[in-house]
Structure 1
Amino acid sequence: MMLKKTVLSLIVMLMSIPSIAGAASPEKIDRRTDKALSEFREDITGADDVLAKAEGVLVFPSIKKAGIGIGGEYGQGALRVGGKTVSYYSTASASVGFQLGAQARRQMIVFLDPKALEKFRASNGWEIGVDASVTVVTVGAGGAIDATQLSQPIVAFVFDSKGLMYNLSLEGSKISRIHND
């Protein structure tokens, strides 16, 4: 009986993740991206320095993840270059293994190297860990970033996590362009 409830809970959680076909409007993604960037700057010491060094920033204002043994996650965001949105993207992944819970988080992928950004923009579906290595930094509210310590071409910041999810990894996340922009 408990297993049935667990499976039913998983199905409900996964159904709450938007489908790829249901992309939000560009205006909605931009509003959410603006809010995420503003809160990142307000809450994280050193965020302005990191963003000033960036060639481009891919912002996912909300990525929802759920799993009980089998998990999935999905989010939509915008790529900003020079402070302006140039493209819209989705991120999605599925996983099997030890995992339990649900989580909503914000994620920014900061391209510190122009060649890394160029390669990303030229790709037709980009997978973290396959197409590029990404250094992940988890930052809590009131946290700090030392921009001088960032030596990798691509750095991801995970922040504002809500909920509890064991097994946070970006490996295997597939990022694809959405909308005809």
Structure 2
Amino acid sequence: MTILNRRIFMGAAASTLALGGCANGIGGGGAPRLDARVDATRDFLFGRYPGTRELAAKSQGVLFMPLITEAGFGIGAAYGQGALRINDVTVDYYSTTRATIGFQIGAQQYAHALFFLTESALGDFRRASGWAAGADIRYATPDQGASIGKDTTEIDPVVALIFGQSGLIAGATLAGTKYTRILP
């Protein structure tokens, strides 16, 4: 990789993470603010997709990520914060950082939830270093969004749902995602 390419990569990654940080309100409000966002996200998900309420009831835990901001132009990044809930009680807070490479252009915001259907899947997630690899084809417009792909966290017994997409993004990428336990 040439020095110019490294500078372009570092500049794009830094700009994208700064965009994500600003849009996610990092550093403001702490746990009460994050819990309020998680409550609103959960209520939206259950209201818009009623079957998810039953899925949550069957789950050993659910990780709600209320707002993830993503941008990319060839190389992209995303960032968001959320909470892991067991029996609808917050037990841990997490951030997610995602890096992508491939054909992509645009920016979007979305929410996602990971439903851990077994105790072992939940335990593995909580003990793991947090990396997930994946590949996808996706698009998002102000009216709709879709993603076709799989991450290693989406293999049974973990169900991942992405919802509430907004923005304009299109692409086919390889991605790496890291979930990190945080103190808000």
TM-score with structure 1 length normalisation? 0.76
Check conservation: 2:102, 2:171, Cα contact below 8 A: no
1:170–1:82 CA distance, 2 compared to 1 (3 A):
farther
**TM-superposed deviation, 1:114:** 0.7
Q: Quick one: distance in 2 between partners of 1:102 and 1:129?
A: 20
Whichever structure has more strand as a proportion of its residues is: 2
- Can you list the C-alpha shifts for 1:97-155, whole angstroms capped at 9, x where unaligned? 211000000000110011010111122x311239x82338xxxxxxxxxxxxxxx2001
User: Please, what is the CA RMSD of the aligned residues?
Assistant: 2.8
Q: Quick one: distance in 2 between partners of 1:117 and 1:169?
A: 27
**TM-superposed deviation, 1:96:** 2.1
Is residue 2:20 matched to residue 1:17? yes
1:95–1:163 CA distance, 2 compared to 1 (3 A):
same
The equivalent residue for 1:47 is: 52
Q: Aligned AA for 1:134?
A: T
**TM-superposed deviation, 1:175:** 0.3
Check conservation: 1:17, 1:64, Cα contact below 8 A: yes
Q: Aligned AA for 1:92?
A: T
Check conservation: 1:89, 1:176, Cα contact below 8 A: yes
SS in 1 for 2:176: coil
Is residue 2:132 matched to residue 1:128? yes
Q: Structure 2: any 5+ residue segments left out of the alignment?
A: 1-10, 135-150
Whichever structure has more helix as a proportion of its residues is: 2
Q: Quick one: distance in 2 between partners of 1:169 and 1:157?
A: 18
**TM-superposed deviation, 1:55:** 0.4
Q: Structure 1: any 5+ residue segments left out of the alignment?
A: 1-7, 137-151
**TM-superposed deviation, 1:169:** 7.0
Q: Quick one: distance in 2 between partners of 1:18 and 1:170?
A: 22
SS in 2 for 1:49: helix
Check conservation: 1:10, 1:66, Cα contact below 8 A: no
The equivalent residue for 1:26 is: 31
TM-score with structure 2 length normalisation? 0.75
The percentage of counterpart residues that share the same residue type is 35
Q: Quick one: distance in 2 between partners of 1:71 and 1:17?
A: 11
